Homo-oligomer: A and B are copies of this chain.
Amino acid sequence: MRGAVIYGPGDVRVENLDDAMIVKPTDAVIRLAATCVCGSDLWDWRGINHVDQPTPMGHEYAGVVEAVGGDVENVKVGDFVIGSFFASDNTCPICQAGYQSSCVHREFVGGAQAGLLRVPLADGTLVATPGMPEPDLIPSLLAASDVLGTGWFGAVAAEVGPGKTVAVVGDGAVGLLAVLAAKQLGADRIIAMSRHASRQELAREFGATDIVEERGDAGVAKIMELTDGLGAHSVIEAVGTQESMMQAIHSTRAGGHVGFVGVSHDVEIPGEELFFSAVHLHGGPAPVRRFLPELIDLIWSRQIDPGKVFDLTLPLDDAAEGYKAMDERRAIKVLLQP
């Protein structure tokens, strides 16, 4: 099979790799209908995460089950399935509490930018669609695998709901889909923080009622202006830097909720400031599995169209160009066709 491998900063190559295979009886192998490049892949591409050795890339996937191990019961060959970047047993107390991305048996699912993918703990990880999807639904189903599930978790973690004013820090695919999630979850007002015209447009399409272009303290001041000086009830942090985290905390009213889903890099939260802010803070690797049945249903019934975040489609063999386009912010998110 063909698959993308990173060798170092700015060096992603698509190569001939051994076909993914069943290793354990709880595995499934799926043939990818589509895969994509994640904002978090860019940490490796940029050299911020150190790459020790050539590493297969990609952790977002949707496709057809090609083979299952002897213990797999919940999915069968021929099913169209979606799963998350962390495989989970979905039965341990942590999974049962809805935190499948912290499952006691979790395994990272890597190497999804390829033709085939081995998924561990298939029974707990994969969710099948009601049937074979129309081709135009595939981008949205793929989005559910990570960016939609992550944006959705950010909104849930920020306790978005009716009567609330929501602010979203970050206009990448996750931030934009957090806007979509906030809309679905019934928020009254959704403020997207973005200074890119095309992203602002998509944010509005997904449900943003206000756009704030300012960042940092100026961005916070603008949110205060829009909320009678109190701050938003719910703020979703979808970047992962010190500036974005503090912007999120400072934009939230006392007693409000920050949901943070940007993978934190070199972030230190000052305890005293957090204390006196009196906000709630919750985040982490999104337990996408918790939300997959609901998200698949919303996509299947065409109530949401999260696939719109893919504004560039490339053949898998051009993966490196996909990374480059996202790194340079020429593309919001790149879909790769195996």
Least CB distance from A61 to B in Å reads 22
CA distance A231 to B260 in the complex (A): 22
Q: Residue of B at shortest CB range from A106?
A: B254
| B-contacting residues, A67-108, CB 8 Å | 93-94, 97-99, 101-102, 104
Which of A254, A284, A285 has the most chain B CB atoms closer than 10 A to its own CB?
A254
- Docked-complex contact B280 and A271, CB < 8 angstroms: no
Q: Does A264 contact B (CB under 8 A)?
A: yes
The reply on A333 being an interface residue by CB < 8 A is no
Given contacts A267-B270, A268-B271, A271-B268, contact A94 B230 (CB under 8 A): yes
A102 adjacent to B260 (CB under 8 Å): no
Contact indicator per residue, chain A 240-260, by CB within 8 Å of chain B (1) or not (0): 101001000000011100001
A281 (CB) vs chain B CBs: closest residue: B281
A272 in contact with B265 (CB, 8 Å): yes
Of all chain B residues, which has the CB nearest A290?
Answer: B255
Q: How far is the CA of A145 from the CA of B278 in the complex (A)?
A: 19
Shortest Cβ distance from residue A101 to the other chain B in the assembled complex, whole angstroms: 7
A21 to B167, CA, bound (A): 44
Q: A2 near B: Cβ within 8 Å?
A: no
Report B-chain residues with C-beta under 8 Å of the C-beta of A278.
Answer: 99, 101-102, 283-285, 287
A263 at the interface (CB under 8 A from B): yes
- Residues of B contacting A97 in the complex (Cβ-Cβ under 8 angstroms): 253-255
Closest Cβ–Cβ distance, residue A15 to chain B (whole Å): 31
- Which residues of B have CB within 8 Å of A255? 94, 97-99, 102, 287
Whether A274 is near chain B, meaning CB under 8 Å from some CB there, is yes
Would you give the shortest CB distance from A291 to chain B, in whole angstroms? Answer: 14
Partner of A275, one of B93, B229, B242, B264: B264
User: Can you list 25 residue pairs at the A/B interface with Cβ under 8 Å?
Assistant: A93-B228, A93-B253, A94-B253, A97-B254, A99-B254, A99-B255, A104-B229, A242-B271, A245-B271, A254-B284, A263-B275, A264-B271, A265-B272, A268-B270, A268-B271, A269-B271, A274-B281, A275-B285, A276-B285, A277-B284, A278-B284, A278-B287, A280-B280, A280-B281, A281-B281
User: Which B residues touch A215, using CB under 8 A?
Assistant: none
Q: How far is the CB of A6 from chain B (nearest CB, A)?
A: 20
Q: Within residues 213 to 248 of chain A, which ones have a CB less than 8 A from any CB in chain B?
A: 228-230, 240, 242, 245
CB of A93 within 8 A of CB of B285, answer no
- In the complex the two chains form, what is the Cα distance from A268 to B230 in whole Å? 25
Give the distance in Å from the alpha carbon of A238 to the alpha carbon of B228 in the complex.
33
B residues in contact with A269, CB < 8 Å: 268-269, 271, 274
A-B interface, 4 closest residue pairs, ranked by CB to CB distance from nearest: A267-B271, A264-B271, A102-B254, A278-B284
Q: Which residues of chain B are within 8 angstroms of A266 by Cβ–Cβ distance?
A: 271
Report B-chain residues with C-beta under 8 Å of the C-beta of A267: 270-272
Chain B residues with Cβ below 8 Å from A260 are 275
Chain B residues positioned under 8 Å from A245 (CB to CB)? 271
Q: A280-B281, A281-B280, A281-B281 are in contact. Are A264 and B254 (CB under 8 A)?
A: no
A282 at the interface (CB under 8 A from B): yes
